[in-house]
A and B are shown apart, each in its own frame.
Chain A
Amino acid sequence: GENVEQHPSTLSVQEGDSAVIKCTYSDSASNYFPWYKQELGKGPQLIIDIRSNVGEKKDQRIAVTLNKTAKHFSLHITETQPEDSAVYFCAAAEDNYGQNFVFGPGTRLSVLP
């Protein structure tokens, strides 16, 4: 089955700097890769996703890149702000088979003012 690894487990950056979180997956059948942000005591919120027919997707300060050959994808946050502090999860799934979602263990991002 699918296995998703995520690094680093914790990340501290200064406000205004960039943050990068990386994930690797094992199942070449996976073709959908979402990223979730979870604030303390709340459910995860989808912030960006990418499908395997594209290599990069950007939404304002966040972007995701995908390397299908190497089976890894990354979340990039630019111009970080204190409100970006949260736990971020990556996941991999085979499109149209939501029950196959496999989540990474999470990265706790702290943006220091």
Chain B
Amino acid sequence: SQTIHQWPATLVQPVGSPLSLECTVEGTSNPNLYWYRQAAGRGLQLLFYSVGIGQISSEVPQNLSASRPQDRQFILSSKKLLLSDSGFYLCAWTGARTEAFFGQGTRLTVV
């Protein structure tokens, strides 16, 4: 069966520090991968998606970047965090069918 792992679960980082969040998928190949951000009490905002290694599409201009160095690995990064980057970050994947499966999320607090 397929599983998605996302870490860390929580993170507190100072303003101006770098960020790296990692997501890996097991049990499937060539998944579409996604990073979403969820502000407190709000819906899900798509940040990036990837249909293959090295292929990244960005949905919104922002202080973040994404990379896909391997087929089942998706990384969310920032060189310098802003206070506004705080939120709940979710990784997700879709396969041959459209069903999307989410990781457990990372709660990022920028202080």
Interface of A toward B, CB cutoff 8 Å: 32, 34, 36, 41-46, 49, 89, 91, 93, 95-99, 101, 103-106
In the bound complex, do residue A32 and residue B46 qualify as a contact, i.e. CB atoms below 8 Å apart?
A: no
Interface of B toward A, CB cutoff 8 Å: 6, 32, 34, 41-44, 46, 49, 51, 57, 90, 92, 94, 97-105, 107
Given known contacts A34-B99, A99-B32, A103-B43, what 19 new A-B pairs fall within 8 Å (CB)?
Answer: A32-B98, A42-B104, A43-B6, A43-B90, A44-B44, A44-B102, A46-B100, A89-B43, A89-B44, A93-B98, A95-B97, A97-B98, A98-B32, A98-B49, A98-B98, A101-B46, A101-B100, A104-B43, A106-B43
In the bound complex, do residue A103 and residue B44 qualify as a contact, i.e. CB atoms below 8 Å apart?
A: yes
Partner of A99, one of B43, B49, B104: B49
In the bound complex, do residue A34 and residue B100 qualify as a contact, i.e. CB atoms below 8 Å apart?
A: yes
Contacts of A93 in B (CB 8 A): 98
- CB within 8 Å for A46 and B57 given contacts A98-B94, A99-B32, A99-B46: no
